[in-house]
Structure 1
Amino acid sequence: MTFSIVARSADGRLHGVAVASKFLAAGALVPAAEAEVGAVATQAHVNLAYRSQGLALLRTGVAAADVVAGLVAADAGRDDRQVGVVGASGDGATWTGPRCHPWAGGQVGDGWAAQGNILAGPQVIDAIRDAWLGGAELPFPRRLLAALHAGDRAGGDRRGRQSAGLLVVQRRGGYAGTGDELVDLRVDDHPDPVTELGRLLDTHTMLFGKPDPATLRDLAGPLADEVAALLAAAGYPVGVAGLDGALASWAGVENLEERLVVGRIDPIVLEHLRRTAPAGRVGG
């Protein structure tokens, strides 16, 4: 019912799962990941216990292939299951039970495993593999999404489309450094879920991505005057809080607080401010 990829970044700091299926809310069932430990995808006749059990084994240093072997050996329903695992190092591993609906199978390599069932054919996994291997220059979440897109374009789930999910973990990579979930996005029921997942990732990156120090602009001179006028037009006059304070108040309401740097401004924040401030009131 599903195709997925589990993977690890080249530096081992990120782990993730991307999944799509003709099944309601596959992203709620299939993926699990733990920062600097590994990732698991359970599919076909999902066994939710695989997620916690697989991560527990990975946490103790068990290799991905041995994790898969242990999970399926202890499961009387293994012939109907499919699972992919990647750990903190080494090759990924995958299992496809002999009773999974065709086409079903998977492939593995260093730091990744791709698997699927009820697929249009083996070309789906080939496409996921090729996109993953060819996407090393992409940010890790986008590399996972590109692999999922490739599988979708190659035919994906032969029954059609319904849901997709993307889970990426990194130690203290979550909101304000208070958790490890760098990206946790789901499209539960949609006619084009992988494309919609891409839109959500774009929005997530805009709101929660960290600013690029090379692109930050100093809040001084004419730029500071422009930002102050835009903030005033949006209802956040500089006043006693100063420019940084007014910008922080506005950004908090716009959910852009993760992109703030005192004394400077992220071009993404500046563009959003220019786009959303009431133009008629600027400089009025």
Structure 2
Amino acid sequence: MTFSIVGYDPKEKTWGVAVQSKFLGVGAVVPFAKAGVGAIATQSYANTSYGPNGLALLEQGKSAQEVLDLLLQEDPDREMRQVGIVDANGQAATFTGKECYDWAGGTTGEYFAAQGNILVDEKTVESMKNTFLETEGALAKRLLRALNAGQAAGGDSRGMQSAALLVVKEAGGYGGFNDRLIDLRVDDHPKPIDELMRIYSLQRLYFSSSKPERIAAIEGEVEDELGRHLSRLGYLTETAGLSDALRAYLHTENFEMREQEKGKIDLDVLDFMKKQS
């Protein structure tokens, strides 16, 4: 009742998992990852011990296939399981037990493993594979597009309910204190992949650094628009000038990563502000 893709980006040094299922809160069950170690998706009567146990084995230097073999060897219900693994070097392995409900299967390629069960047919896995290989850019973007393509090709034959995206990178978390670069979940939604893509866009807005070409001086039309929207939103008052109002807005909305030197603004923030009611 689940399809997922596990991937690695050798340039970014990121590992991640994207998953969708007709299952409540799939993000709490399927994806596991650790920076510098690898990523694992465990599904189909998921044995969640595969996550931490598999990462521990990967951390010992074992390959994805070696870890998969060891996990299955110790599990008497292995034929009910489905697993995808990518190791520290991007080597991939996938397994689909004989007792997984049709359609069930998986495939691997350079830096990824894609798998699913209770699918409409094999086109979901093939579409994830092709889209991942054809898409350029950050790992999160490639994983999400692959997941979306899998849904468009048929997806879970029982429908949609939840989706999740987990991407890790050394010191990639908030403030650099952990490796959770992206950890997003949609636990119950009629269109969980669409919603996951929407909140991923917000995540990039809130936590990515400003692009130099999007930084503008607060003058002319930019100043007029900024003043109008800060006033509309209640930040620009008789006692709060434009600079103080903008600073209050940025800190209230958690846009500290997008804050610029006095007299300048990130236009992506201004665009977001325009859309707020």
Q: What TM-score, normalized to structure 1?
A: 0.88
Q: Give the drift of 1:10.
A: 3.3
Could you tell me which residue of structure 2 aligns to residue 161 of structure 1? 160
Counting only pairs closer than 5 Å after superposition, residues 1-284 of structure 1 correspond to structure 2 as 1-135=1-135, 137-219=136-218, 223-224=222-223, 227=226, 230-231=229-230, 234-237=233-236, 245-263=244-262, 264-276=264-276
Could you tell me which residue of structure 2 aligns to residue 280 of structure 1? none
Whole-angstrom CA distance in 1 between matches of 2:87 and 2:245 = 45
User: How many residue pairs are counted as aligned between the two chains?
Assistant: 276
Q: Give the drift of 1:6.
A: 0.4
Given that 1:79 and 1:97 are in contact with CA atoms closer than 8 Å, whether structure 2 keeps it comes out as yes
SS in 1 for 2:202: helix
- Relative to structure 1, the CA distance from residue 52 to residue 241 in structure 2 (aligned partners, 3 Å threshold; closer, same or farther) is farther
SS in 2 for 1:168: strand
Whole-angstrom CA distance in 2 between matches of 1:272 and 1:162 = 28
Counterpart AA for 2:171? R
Given that 1:63 and 1:90 are in contact with CA atoms closer than 8 Å, whether structure 2 keeps it comes out as no
Deviations 1:23-64 (A, max 9, x none): 111111000111222111000011111110111111122111
Q: Give the drift of 1:212.
A: 1.1
Given that 1:80 and 1:97 are in contact with CA atoms closer than 8 Å, whether structure 2 keeps it comes out as yes
- Relative to structure 1, the CA distance from residue 241 to residue 174 in structure 2 (aligned partners, 3 Å threshold; closer, same or farther) is farther
SS in 1 for 2:189: coil
Deviations 1:76-117 (A, max 9, x none): 111111111101214211111111111111111121100111
Q: Give the drift of 1:181.
A: 1.5
- Relative to structure 1, the CA distance from residue 92 to residue 235 in structure 2 (aligned partners, 3 Å threshold; closer, same or farther) is same
Whole-angstrom CA distance in 1 between matches of 2:88 and 2:266 = 34
Q: Give the drift of 1:147.
A: 0.3
Counterpart AA for 1:249? A
Whole-angstrom CA distance in 2 between matches of 1:242 and 1:178 = 35
The alignment-based identity, stated in percent, is 45
Counterpart AA for 1:88? A
Whole-angstrom CA distance in 2 between matches of 1:239 and 1:140 = 46
Q: Give the drift of 1:177.
A: 2.8
Whole-angstrom CA distance in 1 between matches of 2:242 and 2:105 = 57
SS in 1 for 2:197: helix
Q: Give the drift of 1:149.
A: 0.6
Whole-angstrom CA distance in 2 between matches of 1:19 and 1:109 = 18
- Relative to structure 1, the CA distance from residue 219 to residue 177 in structure 2 (aligned partners, 3 Å threshold; closer, same or farther) is farther
Q: Give the drift of 1:272.
A: 2.5
Give the gaps of 5 or more residues in structure 1. 278-284
Whole-angstrom CA distance in 2 between matches of 1:124 and 1:248 = 46
Whole-angstrom CA distance in 2 between matches of 1:239 and 1:251 = 19
Q: Give the drift of 1:205.
A: 2.1
SS in 2 for 1:70: helix
Deviations 1:235-255 (A, max 9, x none): 445999986554232112122
